[in-house]
Amino acid sequence: MNDKSSNKWILFPRPNPAAALRLFCFHHAGGSAQIFYNWPGHLPPSVEMGAIQLPGRGHRLGEPHVRGLLPLSRIVAQELLPYLDKPFVFFGHSLGALLCFETARSLRRETRRQPAHLFVSATEAPHRRSREELLSGLPKSELVKKLHEFDGTPVEVLQDDELLDLMLPTIRADFELCETYEYQPEPPLECPMTIYGGLEDHEVEAERLAAWSEMTAGICEIRMFPGGHFYINSSRAIFLQTLAGDLLRLRPQT
């Protein structure tokens, strides 16, 4: 096992060597690994959580962004390899759902390994995505307005011009990952899947969210929560309680 503190791609806020299962979390566009930092306290003690940190944010602020979601997924898959000595599962929110899905497919192609479970949240299935609204090239004022509508960026950040100018290049690069992503057909994954979504999420069509079930040959369930695109914040308590319960249910399979 590599020293976890030496990997800039995967952060472990609460290392747990005795864990039976590893949960790797993939953040949304414009987000960072830090959004997951207080999750371990709400998860079963048998689970160790690692949060993916993409370039261009946090301690990687000065690093160039990776252009293209598929090349990025291959890099993440390689960085995860030292930590796959235990059963593992992926959770991804929005952009993170697409990235964890493609990372799982990359692992299957390169190593014939797959997660024990895939949790995908708040994004349409890769083969059923509606025409992507082009956000990466919007003028600053229009992009900030859109971020207000998503309700996932703190208001104090959106009102701070200096902080915005620091963050917007990364937000634009992340939106570009979504906009340029093209799904390539492959056989479905074998791992079970759970689909999470917000009941008032106007960015994601319910039928296209449910279509994730076609991406696996395993059992698939869908769970909806009060709230919009960032229900993971507005319904945080019930969401984390549900995720913890779903992770506990995996134990007999791992």
Taking only the tens place, the pLDDT of each residue in 190-201 is 999 999 999 999
171 to 10, 54, 152, 183, 242: CA distances (angstroms): 20, 12, 12, 22, 29
Residue 94 falls in the annotated catalytic set: yes
Is pLDDT above 60 for 1? no
Q: What's the predicted TM-score (pTM) here?
A: 0.93
Both tokens assigned to 133? 């609204």
| List 32, 73, 94, 106, catalytic entry | 94
Among 130, 121, 91, 150, which residue's Cα sits nearest to residue 208? Answer: 130
Q: Which residue has the higher pLDDT, 215 or 152?
A: 215
Is pLDDT above 60 for 253? no
State mean pLDDT over 158-177. 88
Q: What is the pLDDT of residues 49-86, one digit of tens each?
A: 999 999 999 899 889 999 999 999 999 999 999 999 99
For residue 192, the model assigns a pLDDT of 96
The mean of the pLDDT values for the chain is 91
Is pLDDT above 50 for 252? no
Q: Is 139 exposed, middle or buried (0-12, 13-18, 19+ CB in 10 A)?
A: exposed
Q: Which residue has the higher pLDDT, 250 or 91?
A: 91
Name the least confident of 49-58, 145-154, 173-182, 187-196: 145-154
